[in-house]
Structure 1
Amino acid sequence: MRRIVWRLTLLVGVLFTVTGNAFAQEKQDPPEVLEKQTDGKEVIGSLFGKKKDSSDTTKKKPSLVSTLPSAGFNPSVGFSVGVTSTAGLVFGDPKITTMSVLNANAYISTKGLIQFETKNNIFTNDDLYNIQGNVQIGKTVALDYGVGTGSRAHGEQGFTFDGLPLRSNSEVMPLNYSYIKISQRVYRRIAKNLLFGAGVIFNIYNDIDDEKKKGPKPDAHNHRYSINHGFPTSEYTNNGLLLNLEYNSRDHINRPYEGMFIDLILRTNATWMGSNKPATQLRAELRKYWGLSKVNREHILAYWFWSSFLLKGDLPYLELPGTGSDQTSRLGRGYTIGRFKGQSFMYSELEYRFPITTNKLFSGVVFANAQTGSAQRRISDINLGEFVEPGGGVGLRILFNKYTRSNLCIDYGIGTYGAKGIFVGLNEVF
């Protein structure tokens, strides 16, 4: 689990928003469109007596940098405080260069957990090069439900907030660990909207502690899986090389109205780079957006497919793909992070997005998703697609920054085995 409950009070944190000016203009909506919109920053400003600026938006620099403090509580984490910041910059001619996005967040909790993370999605002039990467360092806790789909054991049986349960579950196995994760990918455009790239990834896990590891035959999932697959139980490393092919015709990163995104990643984990075992994975992602109205572009049908296939070799337990394994840890609304996982994993989601108010401050979504994972076991294997776990729900969107199309997202999702909860985030899930 790579993201924790520092987002629990993100909605409250908006009230303390601090904004700055970007270094350059972005490719944004026309001034006549922006003038009709009201975002959260303007609403907050009006509460403090600041009037909405009706001047020509082309003559001023929009605010593209935002910082949000937060605080929260979870039984596994304790009380936590943190801060998250996002920036939109343009490194080139804004007429032909996509806005680059930089994110950073950090939190600390009363139970000694800590996390620092940075992410970059940078486009050079005319989108010739695209650099994507992240750095994560921390000590955290994962709620462990085992491998595969189709098992009712360790079901949620309760309410969750932002992917974590609001109360302790005696059947769930907490898994504490420290980690360092570094990855960078560099893409070069080889045709219109098509990029080819390569990169490296380093994932190091230490001090892995199964809190329920007891007796001569431990039943903790990480311990049992690691013994069966020949991995150390308390630490392991998974480093490798990446080859990438990406197609991107989206009109915007944060909130697309149209276009398509395809990302294919071939990952080879190598022992000469420090991995405990060699392995080859293929990760494939597709995002497609259909505009449903020429009059109002916010009526959108969006589709998301995310998958990871183990082609050969073996993976350590904390590297198994599953719920919340995407870059922003938001895959699988309706379930806790890490609820399902497998050596191979597939996820699919369909979402309808629609406006609520004419000033675009409020909009909504309705979504449905499904996920499936495989498991190699000594007694019986679970094949990919053999068990499918559905989910769905509804959501509210609050326009946070109209210049960057940033939304505050609040979703209510449900799943199988009594799973249900509220999920909060900044910018669309996909």
Structure 2
Amino acid sequence: MKNKYSCIFSFNWNPPALLFLLLISISLFSQTPKDSIETCEVKSLPDLFKKKDSLLTIKSQINKTSFFLVIPIIGSSPATGFLYGGVAQYTFKGKNAKDKYSSFNVGATYTTNEQLLVNIKNNLLLNHNKIYLSGDWRYYIFSQNNYGLGTDIIPSFKEDSDFVLESLAEPMNYNYFKFHQTVSFNVVSDFYIGAGIHLDGYTDIFDKQLDVTNNLFTAHYEYSNHYGFNTFEYYVNGLSLNTVFDSRDNQVNANNGWYGNINYRINPAFGKNQASSSVLFTEFKYYIPLSEKNLQHVLAFWTYGQFLTHGNLPYLNLPSIGWDKTSRGGRGYTQGLFRGQDLVYMETEYRFPITCNQLISGTVFANFTTASDKDRQVKLFNAIQPAFGIGLRILIDKSTKTNLILNQAWGKHSKAFYLNAGETF
């Protein structure tokens, strides 16, 4: 719930959310200078609430090497009800000029549906960029709707204009523990090689719509029975080989460079309720600066794919939208909507300035998702689900270029609003 990690929540677009965006826009536009970017003094949100800095203070802020951010979380969604909590993010770098920023994020959320979501994530470049750590740790007391496998579950508008997404929903409760951590070492330039440990556990699984006595089965129950998984708990534990290439100028808010990650995970059947499998994960990001004078003009690309290359995975561990490390994929669709043995996601985003002082900027984006279901012979790209959206970005720290981000996204028969700290990708 996330560079770049932080809280994320989604809910149906409503007047309070629209008013919130409108008020922010009015207040920030009232601060907008009309000069060119070359003559504007960069301002962040905290600058609006304090006296004008001296030149010495401004210089020290720009050159600082760390930033600590705490954000309260208040919101609501059909899946969670009312939710509240907080997230803390620490961004830092070494004192050498070539050292890159690292980030460590801790968040906890509780909902009126009695869900507890605890996230700890790290993206760390240590020892002057020689050691690269990437971690995703979670503990969820969770409930979520499942919708079956493949991206063909949503019909086109022409096929069924009256289609309601929630008609597919199969509610489920479960507890989830995740510990994914990789450590990679610099080999040459921006290239790293390493390994990782990956532990996933799903317990106390409860299918709310399942009624075996009356032959009312859910997608999770049928899949689990077909592949021999316990329907109440299962585990996926493994080791991985990991390669990373990262030439981005800033992990928190990149203006240029590449990021690539290839991770091959082997999951042996160590104990009960486990099955052997192997999974290939690939991820690529590319950032193109579109202006030499204003670095806020950026065209960004993000794609990742997760592929089951051997054996079988339990249902909840299959590749699924919104379950990437940052929980940012699939804007416009609810988490877990698209799931399959293989999944490919692609997104492009144009980031642009709105105010001369870089306090507020905007974005437009589009994405698509495709997932397979081998049991129904639905292959990747047989069905593609697109989405698009717009967003506002408010600068909250000048040195790290950390933004507060508000996004509204629309998918097919779906829409969602998001609040993040740090770029989506």
TM-score, normalised by the number of residues in structure 1: 0.85
Report the CA distance shift for 1:241/1:427 in structure 2 as closer, same or farther (over 3 A): same
Report the CA distance shift for 1:282/1:62 in structure 2 as closer, same or farther (over 3 A): closer
- Residue 70 of structure 2 aligns with an amino acid whose one-letter code is T
Contact persistence 1:154–1:171 (CA under 8 A):
no
Greater CA drift, 51-60 or 223-232: 51-60
Q: Equivalent residue of 1:239, what SS?
A: strand
Distance 1:38 1:62 in 2: 18
Contact persistence 1:322–1:339 (CA under 8 A):
yes
- Name the counterpart of 1:254: 252
> Alignment RMSD, CA only?
2.9
- Name the counterpart of 1:73: 76
Give identity over the alignment, percent.
Answer: 32
Distance 2:123 2:307 in 1: 24
- Name the counterpart of 1:212: 209
- Name the counterpart of 1:82: 85
Shift of 1:87: 0.5
Contact persistence 2:320–2:340 (CA under 8 A):
yes
Distance 1:183 1:34 in 2: 46
Which blocks of at least 5 consecutive residues in structure 1 are unaligned? 13-31, 159-164
Contact persistence 1:154–1:172 (CA under 8 A):
no
- Name the counterpart of 1:423: 418
Distance 2:326 2:271 in 1: 26
- Name the counterpart of 1:22: none
**Map 1:92-241 → 2, pairs under 5 A:** 92-152=94-154, 169=166, 171-216=168-213, 217-241=215-239
Shift of 1:237: 0.2
Distance 2:321 2:285 in 1: 17
- Name the counterpart of 2:397: 401
Distance 2:41 2:211 in 1: 62
Shift of 1:153: 7.0
Distance 2:286 2:91 in 1: 23
Distance 1:357 1:371 in 2: 33
Which blocks of at least 5 consecutive residues in structure 2 are unaligned? 21-36
Aligned residues: 396
- Name the counterpart of 1:25: none
**Map 1:247-286 → 2, pairs under 5 A:** 247-272=245-270, 276-286=274-284
Distance 1:33 1:59 in 2: 20
Contact persistence 1:193–1:247 (CA under 8 A):
yes
Report the CA distance shift for 1:70/1:53 in structure 2 as closer, same or farther (over 3 A): farther
Q: Relative CO higher for 1 or 2, CA cutoff 8 Å, sep ≥ 6? A: 2
Contact persistence 1:114–1:138 (CA under 8 A):
yes
Distance 1:187 1:68 in 2: 30
Shift of 1:123: 1.4
Shift of 1:200: 0.3
Shift of 1:345: 0.5
- Residue 314 of structure 1 aligns with an amino acid whose one-letter code is N
Contact persistence 2:233–2:273 (CA under 8 A):
no
Task: Report Cα offsets for 1:78-128 as digits up to 9, x if no partner.
Answer: 3322010000122x4331321220100001223321122111112112211
Q: Equivalent residue of 1:384, what SS?
A: coil
| Equivalent in 22, 37, 41 of residue 42 of structure 2 | 37
Task: Report Cα offsets for 1:346-405 as digits up to 9, x if no partner.
Answer: 01111111111100111111111111111022xx31111111111112111111212111
TM-score, normalised by the number of residues in structure 2: 0.86
Report the CA distance shift for 1:324/1:129 in structure 2 as closer, same or farther (over 3 A): same
**Map 1:345-356 → 2, pairs under 5 A:** 345-356=343-354
Q: Equivalent residue of 1:341, what SS?
A: coil
Distance 2:128 2:114 in 1: 45
- Name the counterpart of 1:55: 56
